[in-house]
Every structure is written in C-alpha cells, then in structure tokens.
Structure 1
Amino acid sequence: MKNCFKAWTERDQLKPHLIVVGAATWSIKIHNGSMEALTQYKINLTSITPLLEKLAETNDIYWVLQDPVYEDLLSENRKMITNQRIGLYNDVTLSILNSSTRNMAAKVKILRASKLVAEETIAGSLDGLHLPETTRDINAMILMNSYCNKIVKPIDGSCCLPQPHLSVIQKLTGCFFIICIMSCMVVTYFCHSWRKSKPSTDVESGEEKKPATASLSNPEKLLLSLSKLGLIMGYFYLCDRANLFMKEQKYYTHSTFFIPLVYIIVLGVFYNDNTKETTVLNREQTDEWKGWMQLIILIYHISGASTFLPVYMHVRVLVAAYLFQTGYGHFSYFWKSGEYGISRICQILFRLNFLVVVLCLVMDRPYQFYYFVPLVTFWFMVIYVTLGIWPQTGKKDENGSCSPYWEVVLKLLGLFLCICLLATSQSSFENAFSVWPISKLFEWQGFLHEWWFRWKLDRFAVLHGMVFALLYGALKKGHLLSESKGETLFAPRLSSLLLFTSVVVFLTYSIWCASCKNKTECNELHPYFSVLQILSFILIRNIPGYVRSVYSSFFAWFGKISLELFICQYHIWLAADTKGILVLIPGNPVLNIIVSTFIFVLVAHEISQITNDLVQIAIPKDNYIALKRLLCVAIFLLGILTLSTVEQLNK
C-alpha cells in the first residue's frame, strides 16, 4: 500500500481522482487478534499518513472505518474478528488521521457512513463477515454524492452538498442584522437602566401602567423588530444553507397526504364560531378559506403529492382561488372607497414583499423563486392600473353615486383582451418582461419560462374575482340577495337549484381530474375550468344561511398568516429549497415533523407580527412622504439588482 501511494506521489502518471482505502480485518485474522498486531498497525498507518495527506492535496481520499461483524454467524477460523477488536483498530485510525495539523481541506476524509450503514444491514449477512449487496449499493451512492454533488450541485435533498460561499449581498445583510441586534441590546440596556432610575408616578397618579412595548418610540420599535427578524433569518440560514441539519427526500404515498388531511379537517370542524357578519365572503370566511387552503398546500408540499395528478390538479385550483380572492378583495376595496393614494400602494406592496425581499438577500435566491409573491404583486398592480386609470372606478361624484357600471365593464373587457393577447405568444410575453431591471424580478436561472408558465396557468383567476365582485355588488344593490342570519342567499327554489348544480359541478371537476391523462393536458384546460370549482365552493359555502353564519376559528387563525406560512416553508420546514424535508431530530420522523412544524408556525406568526409593526412605521399616511420613501426603496432595490448582476457576471 505504501509503495502504491508513493508511486502516485512521485511519478508523473495517471492516478485515480477518488481513492477509497481501508484495512484492519485481515490484520486481526492473521495475527489472531494480538495486541502486537495492533501496535504494528498503528506504526504502519502513521508511516503512510504523510503520503495520504500529500495525495489529498489533489485527490479525494476516503479512509473506510472497519465494518462490524455478526459474531454469531462467524466460522471458527474467523472467531477472533470481534467487534471489540474492530473498535480498537477504528479508534487507532481516528486518532492518527484526525491528529494532523495540516490544512483541513487537504486531510484524508473518514468515511464514517459506511460503518453506520453496516450496523443497520449486518443482520442480512450470510457468513457474519461479508455484508449484503444492499450495503455496497448504499455506500456507492454516498460516495458518488460526496464526489459529484460539489460539481453538479443538485437542487434537492441530496446528501454531501458543500456549503455555498457567501455572496457580497449576504455578507452585507448579515452585517446589517448583527449591527441591529447589538444596537438593540445596548439601547435596551440603557433604556431599562434609565426607566429603573426614573421615579415612577403611576401609582401616585392612579394611572394604569402601559405594557412595555406600548411605551417604546418608533425608532425603538424599529430596532427591536429588525433585531428579532435578524435572529429569525439566522435560523433560516442555519436550516437551509449551513450544513448543520440533515435533509431527507420526499416519497409520496397516499397515507402521507390523506391521513394529515383528515386530521386537519377534524380539527377545523371542531373549532367553530359565529361570524360577526353574515355577508358573502365576509372577513372571517375569507380568512377561513385561506387557512384551510394553505394547510392543504403545506401537506401537499411535504408529502411530495405533486406526483399524483388528481391531487396536483386540485391544488392548482387552490392557487387559482388565492388569486381569485386577490381580484375580489382589491376590486371590492377600490369600488367602495375609491382610494388610489400612494400610501395604499406602499402598504400592500410592503406586506406582500417584505419577507420575500429579506429572504432573497439572506438566502441568495432570485425574486422569482418565491413565485406566488411576484404573481400576486403583479396582479395587484394590474388591478390598480386597470381601476385607477381615468375614469377612476369607485370614485364618487358630487351627488355621491359610484362610477357607472358600463365604465367598469369596458375596463374589464380591455383587461380580458390584454390577457388573451399576451397568452397567444410566449415569445411576445417574454419580450415584454425582458427589459432590465424588470427581467431580474421575473427570471429564474436566467430564463423567463417559469414566469410564463405561472402566469399563463392562472391568467384569468384574478379577472374572475373582479367580475364576481362586480356582479355581487350589483345583486346586492338590487336587493336580490338575502344575507340575514339563517336565511338562504336566494329564494328557496333558486337556492336549492343553485346548490344542487354547484355540488354536481364540484364532483364533476374532481372526476375529470381523476381521468386526466397528463399534467400538460390538464394545465391547458385548467384556466377555463378552475373558476367553476371556485364558484361552486362559494355557493355551497354561502347559500345555506346557517353555514354562512359560522366559520372555523382554527382555519381562520392560519388564514391570517397564510402568506408567511407559504414563504417560510421553503427553508425552515422543507429544506434544500423545498426539494427535501428538514430533519431537526434524526431517526424519529414523527417527532421531527411535530417539532419542526411547531417552530415553523411560531416563526411564521412572529414574522407576521414584525411585518405589521414595520408597515406602520415605514409607511406614513401622507402620500407625499410615502412617495419619497417609495423612491428611496426603488433606488435601494435597483442598487441590489445591479450588484447582483455584476456579481453574476464576475462568476
């Protein structure tokens, strides 16, 4: 062995890129397990270590720890090969190879995984010494992952992925959060000392003491929120960028999707309450709707259910329903208020994009990676422009009457035509978004294909929501709806007919999904059929008076943080950018899911609170000041995009 390694170090000849080496079992057998052999083994290994380390400077060298044996199955001439003696040889190996003071990158790697695999599979050995072929296959897979993944860099839950280098933006972001955390600690300490030394007059004046957070000034609240956000972002980075926690692959089975689904349905039905309003799609109902949809999407992602076509198509409807709510909600607001100020735009954009922008900086991900947020942001701006252009929709005149319906209908028809024109040609669509810096917001790995796919898949969903809001407003104004508590939405016979039709349509769509042959065919028809499923659900949920007057508080609670749940899952619940599953507790999948889910939900809720606090501080009600801050943010983001582009070009 020494002569072989010496030849590879001295002679200019071809040598392997990857060397896997190990020894001990034969030494134990030949020398009958004597301690003198162990001493000689230590001398020999010490002798070849310098050669191994020299080779390790240009090659990958793995020393394999000796595998355990199944002592009961060993033949008589192998009885001296005991697990105790193997352990002694492995201890010697570790003490010598780990004691080197050379550069860590050049050290010989210890293949510990082989021994761990053998411990789980040795029971399948035929003679107690030689391991089954499955062990060899697993070891080969691990070696190939270790050698190849640093070159091909797969985006999944594969093992042995090298830790990515920090970009300039990540370093600057990290420094910013560290400064915020340290400043918060200093400010908190001095403020606490000052308040403690200040005489309290609350008791003398009889005034009720306010909570500590209520007495904080805006700068203090800002610093505290950014500090908490910095700690949370540190957790994000440790989970999905550092090699601290393991990741595992997803393997879909019907039980992994449908059993959790039944659990959440039972919990959602159990926790119910009366709504404050009994109108169609009231606030509690929309929160409930968002909540159960988000929980289904989370189960869909962690179970890998995208491989099962019927589930995939139903989840596509849920995404369309989110966009439907976007169209319905924003249209209803603009129609009722006629408010198109800059402050309103900034608030919506801030709430939608704050967490995603921070994650783009911390996790070094493009904006389009979190595809749903760019999609919702784009459609919000489309709604704003469509309704905000002259004549503004919903803006009341001197007599207090709203905009004529024909103006709104013309605008919606114009939007419909624009969507149809963009959908006719992918090249034309991509050309419209290929101008820098807009292209940087919608590119994925340098191309706009992903953005085209996402946009086209639900291109009519927002328009459907706007049309529904318009029709609902017209019916309500004409007193054609009965939204009192306990009453059916329409006349009894019409309500029964619509309810029956909705159930039939709902079931028919599910049957069609089950019979669909492939995703491409289903996706082509999805933009036209998804609205039927959404409308059917709305009618089933709202026609019966009792059903309309109750809601699930369990689902509604999750609905209030649905956006944060959707985004946070990418890195602290799932892993490897959603391709794998985060493993906080190895060896116990159920406990791991419980713990990681608990942390994940708490973090999402805390980020929601931080966002609400920051939006009140960052976005003033004065439109002029809001415009100035919006321009400052635009310049900042433009600088980030420029720096990112330059860094990519340098690579």
Structure 2
Amino acid sequence: MENFGPITPGQVSLLVGFVPVIVAWLYSELLVRQNNSNASEISRCSDADSVGNDSKIQLLEGGTSLTPPSEVRRSSPSFLRCLLMDKDFLLQNHSTLRSLTEFGAILSLYYVCDRTNLFGESDQYYSRDLFLFLYFLLIVVAAITSLKKHQNQSPGSGKSVRYLNRDQTEEWKGLMQVLFVMYHYFGALETYNAIRTFIAAYVWMTGFGNFSYYYVRKDFSLSRFAQMMWRLNFFVAFCCIALDNHYMFYYICPMHTFFTLMVYCALGLFNKYNKYGWAIAAKIGACFLVIAVVWEVPGVFDFVWHPFAFLLGYSDPDESEPHGPMDEWHYRSGLDRYIWILGMIYAYYHPTVERWMQKLEETRVWLQMLIKASIVAVCFVVGYLWYEYVFKLDRRTYIAYHPYTSWIPITVYIVLRNITQQFRNYTLALFGWLGKITLETYISQCHIWLRTGGPDKRARKNLSLIPNYPMLNFLLTTAIYVTVAHRVFGLTNRLKMAFVPSGDDKRMLCNIVVAAIAAIVLYCFSLVVFNVPKMLA
C-alpha cells in the first residue's frame, strides 16, 4: 500500500497517543463483561440466599465493581489512573474510551481513503441536468417523507411559531450544504456565485446565532467559551494532524472561529451595558470600524495578521501561480467580512420584527393580504435586480461586489420564507438533520467522498469504490460519507461533555493543562523517533 506523502512527527505522536487509549478501552470492555457476568451470578444467588451489606455492588457504566477503589487511587489524577489501568476509572469512563477509539478509527479511515492507493479515484464529471435532478429529487423526497409541523410557541403569540426559529435555520443550512458539497463532487464551477452566497449565509448565521445566545443568556463563562471553541475546532485540529494539512485548508473553520470570537468580544466587553440600545449601537459600529480599517486600508491587514501566519498561512501545492502565505486568509475572510455584523443587527431587532409580524397576523384579512403581497412584490423586484446585475456577473467581477451585496439574497430569502404563518409552521426535517452536521460534512468530504492525494492539496478527484459505475459509486460513497459525518458529530458532542464540563472551570482547566502536557511529551517523543536514525547514520 503506497502512501502519498511522508509520515510526519505529528502523525507519529497521534498514533502513539491513541495506542494506550485503545488498550485501555479493550481492557474496560473486558471489565464490563466480567462485571456483568458477576452481577448476573449474584442476582441468581440472591434468589436463594440473602446478601449482606458488605456485598453491595456499585453500578458503573452498565457493570458493577466488586472491589472498592482505595483512597489513594481515588484521589489520584484521572490521567494517572488511566495510565495505571485503574479498574474503577476504566469502568467509569468506558463510554468515553470507546468514543475516543472510534474517533481514532475514523481518522485512520480518512488517511487510508485519501492518502493511500488502497482505493481508486475517478475524475469529476458535471452535467447541469443531472446536478439539478439529484438536488430537486432530494427536495421532493424530503417533502414527502419528512415534512414536519412545529408547535413551539413564541411568547404572547398564541400558537404562532417564531420566525427564523432553530428548526428553520437548520433546514436552511441543510438546503445550502447539499448544493455546497455537490458543487465539489461534480465540479460544478458554473454555480460558484451561488456557493459564495451560501457561505455568506453561513457566516450571517454565525453573527445571528451567537448574538442571540449571548444577548439573551448573558453567559460569558469560560466553560461556555471553551465548549464553543471545541465544537468549531476539535475535529478539524485532529484532521490537520492526522492528514498533515494546514488549518486554512479547512477555511470555513478559521472563518467561523474568528467571527464567533468577534461576536463574543463585542458583547462580552462591558456586557453590563448590553441592555442599553446605545451600547449595542456603539458595539456594532465599532465592529464595522475595525473590519473596515483592517480590510479596506492598505497595509493594515498584513500588519495585523502577520503574527498569525504560522496558523493561517496556506498555499495549494498544485497552484501554478505563486501566492503569499496569507493571501488565502485575506481572500476567504474578506469575502464575508461584513455579513456577520448584519447577522448581529438582525438578531438584535428579531423581537421587534416578531411583534410586527404578530400584529400583521391579527389585522383584517384583506389588509393582511395586501401588505404581504406588497412585501412579496418588493422582494421579487429586489431579488431580480440583484440576480440580473450582480449574480450573473463573471466570477472575478462578482467577487468584487459580493462583500457589499450578499445581504440582499439573504434578506429576500428570510422574508419570503417567513411571509406567512403557514410557511413558518413547516420545515423539511431531512434537511434540518443535515443542517446539524454541516461542519462534519464539510471536513469529511475531502477525505472519504473526494480525494486530495497529498498534504494541503485541494480535492480534485472523487473516491472510487465501484470503478466504471459512477452513479452506483456516488450512492455508496455518499451513504458512507453521511453516516461517518453523523457519527463524528455525535462523538464530538460526547467527548465535549467529558472533557469540557459545564460549570466546572477548575476541572476544565486541569483537563487543558493535562492535554497540553501530554501533547508536548508525545510530540517530543516522536521527534526523537525521527531523529535517532539520522544520528546513528
């Protein structure tokens, strides 16, 4: 089996780190089975004989522990207890060890599919008819099988479902994500402008969702911040190590991380003033000012971001034209530099617009229909003008207009999607389900659906498991791809609960320190492994 690319110290350290985890998980499985067997035997004996208080069984992770842990072991750090194979610790953390092992197996699958020649690859083929047929077929199937009516109520509005509710935004993300990944799979270059608009909508949701949470919940705790960063970067960090890619290879992740940090800082600083409208206006104005200065004033971007080149630098090895290491970050982040701020504005006025909509629903039918018809007409006119004079521009020209016009189609979609109560009441649950795993499907597509063939190379081939049968291969690889992405979503959340506990900053900081020490030790060990043969030679 040929490897595409040299083995790196990071990959060696990751492998060495997962070996004891796998051993601990296998031992915990054995302990669980032994204790389940012992529990069954004790249960049978208890039908005939009474069991004293000294024979009480402690239930742990579906099993029992017949030997209480000593005080010394109980007071030892979790990391040391794991290394010492403490039985009670392994039983308590059996499900976490299993999740870590499964996560490591998935990373191994990514490496085998993308960086070895064990499986084949095929060229991308685009047919507009096939592309649109598959997309609309999925919408029809979703409408037939997963149309869902919602009963969640907004305060003081009877049975009214809130506009831009969570189910609706998840559906929106799913609808866009399907076209986004199909664009990559089929090489549908003519849809580039649409994909740029979709990415702008994702970034808009970053501003909208995070502002809504922090403004309403007022939770700026360290644990909440750490959980947010875990969700955005845990999976991608391990993919970068396992596949030797730069962080910017998965550019969506640093983009969402940066804009999320901006929202967090904007509302977190002097947050006691967030209840005043003038304070929110000042903060939003400051966000506009910072972004405008950094991205619009020549030289400022390079000055601000140069210290982060080690993290955000990237260049595609297959690109014929040379680029600076920060050009990719400048291009990607600059395209949607303002839209997240508009998401914050929409979130701030969300309650006000909702009250207007509720009053509209309570007006006379003829007046209600007249107002809604007028709104729809205006939306169609504005949408048509944007489509005709912006969207249809060539790629290079469109990019110049995109940062200042992407809010138009987003606003038009929001208005039309929520124009009536009936529209708000229903969503397509299939797309809502897909919308929850957009991060996982975005990252996974490069390695188990497409093929890059080397570190930092863009995916320009498709994974081929059934040669010469492109549609059957598309069916099989898509089923595997979506299933694995969904598993990664679940694993990420389960491991987040284990390592980034809510409301326990002390334990979380301890976990961070232990993880940092373990990573440094493993990396130093891998460097020694790499350099010893050279020294001996």
TM-score range (shorter-chain normalised) is 0.7 to 0.9
Q: Match of 1:578?
A: 459
Question: Structure 1 residues 448 and 179 mapped into 2: Cα distance closer, same or farther (>3 Å)?
Answer: same
How far 1:416 sits from its partner (Å)? 0.3
Q: Match of 1:554, as an amino acid?
A: L
2:357 is paired with a residue whose SS is coil
Q: Match of 2:497?
A: 616
How far 1:533 sits from its partner (Å)? 0.4
How far 1:194 sits from its partner (Å)? 2.0
Q: Match of 1:69?
A: none
In the alignment, structure 1 segments of 5+ residues that lack a partner are 1-159, 395-402
Is this contact kept in 1: 2:391–2:398, CA < 8 A? no
Q: Match of 1:458?
A: 336
1:166 is paired with a residue whose SS is coil
Is this contact kept in 2: 1:256–1:303, CA < 8 A? no
Give the distance between the partners of 2:333 and 2:415, measured in 1 at CA: 27
1:515 aligns with 2:392: yes
Task: List per-residue Cα deviations over 1:74-123 (Å, max 9, x = no partner).
Answer: xxxxxxxxxxxxxxxxxxxxxxxxxxxxxxxxxxxxxxxxxxxxxxxxxx
Q: Match of 1:286?
A: 169
Q: Match of 1:423?
A: 295
Is this contact kept in 2: 1:229–1:607, CA < 8 A? yes
How far 1:231 sits from its partner (Å)? 1.2
1:433 is paired with a residue whose SS is helix
1:165 is paired with a residue whose SS is coil
Is this contact kept in 1: 2:32–2:63, CA < 8 A? no
Q: What is the percent sequence identity of the aligned residues?
A: 28
1:382 aligns with 2:262: yes
Is this contact kept in 1: 2:13–2:523, CA < 8 A? no
1:315 aligns with 2:220: no
Give the distance between the partners of 2:417 and 2:312, measured in 1 at CA: 36
Question: Structure 1 residues 170 and 162 mapped into 2: Cα distance closer, same or farther (>3 Å)?
Answer: closer
1:228 aligns with 2:111: no
How far 1:645 sits from its partner (Å)? 12
Aligned runs of 1:67-466 on 2, under 5 Å? 163-199=4-40, 201=43, 218-270=92-144, 271-277=146-152, 278-306=161-189, 308=190, 311-392=191-272, 394=274, 403-425=275-297, 427-435=299-307, 438-445=308-315, 447-466=325-344
Is this contact kept in 1: 2:32–2:91, CA < 8 A? no
How far 1:613 sits from its partner (Å)? 0.6
Aligned runs of 1:592-603 on 2, under 5 Å? 592-603=473-484
How far 1:214 sits from its partner (Å)? 10
Is this contact kept in 2: 1:503–1:540, CA < 8 A? no
How far 1:242 sits from its partner (Å)? 1.2
1:480 is paired with a residue whose SS is helix
How far 1:217 sits from its partner (Å)? 5.5
Task: List per-residue Cα deviations over 1:320-342 (Å, max 9, x = no partner).
Answer: 10111111011001111111000
How far 1:610 sits from its partner (Å)? 0.5
Question: Structure 1 residues 269 and 485 mapped into 2: Cα distance closer, same or farther (>3 Å)?
Answer: farther
Q: Match of 1:332, as an amino acid?
A: S
Give the distance between the partners of 2:377 and 2:464, measured in 1 at CA: 46
Q: Match of 1:560, as an amino acid?
A: K
How far 1:631 sits from its partner (Å)? 5.5
Q: Match of 2:418?
A: 542
How far 1:427 sits from its partner (Å)? 3.5
Question: Structure 1 residues 522 and 305 mapped into 2: Cα distance closer, same or farther (>3 Å)?
Answer: same
In the alignment, structure 2 segments of 5+ residues that lack a partner are 51-58, 65-89, 153-160, 316-323, 453-457
Q: Match of 2:133, as an amino acid?
A: I
Of 438, 456, 465, 1:562 maps to 438
Question: Structure 1 residues 362 and 393 mapped into 2: Cα distance closer, same or farther (>3 Å)?
Answer: farther
How far 1:612 sits from its partner (Å)? 1.1
1:468 aligns with 2:324: no
Give the distance between the partners of 1:644 and 1:491, measured in 2 at CA: 69
How far 1:644 sits from its partner (Å)? 11
Q: Match of 1:608, as an amino acid?
A: F
Q: Match of 1:421, as an amino acid?
A: V
Give the distance between the partners of 2:388 and 2:522, measured in 1 at CA: 48
Give the distance between the partners of 2:122 and 2:359, measured in 1 at CA: 50
Give the distance between the partners of 2:202 and 2:477, measured in 1 at CA: 26
1:497 aligns with 2:374: yes
Task: List per-residue Cα deviations over 1:215-261 (Å, max 9, x = no partner).
Answer: 99552122110111111111111100111111222233323422222
Structure 1-normalised TM-score? 0.67
Question: Structure 1 residues 426 and 360 mapped into 2: Cα distance closer, same or farther (>3 Å)?
Answer: farther
Q: Match of 1:501, as an amino acid?
A: V
Q: Match of 1:623, as an amino acid?
A: D
Is this contact kept in 2: 1:485–1:546, CA < 8 A? no
Q: Match of 2:165, as an amino acid?
A: N
Give the distance between the partners of 2:304 and 2:212, measured in 1 at CA: 29
Structure 2-normalised TM-score? 0.80
Give the distance between the partners of 2:267 and 2:361, measured in 1 at CA: 33
Larger C-alpha radius of gyration, 1 or 2?
Answer: 1
1:198 is paired with a residue whose SS is helix
Is this contact kept in 2: 1:334–1:393, CA < 8 A? no
Give the distance between the partners of 2:200 and 2:22, measured in 1 at CA: 40
Q: Match of 2:469?
A: 588
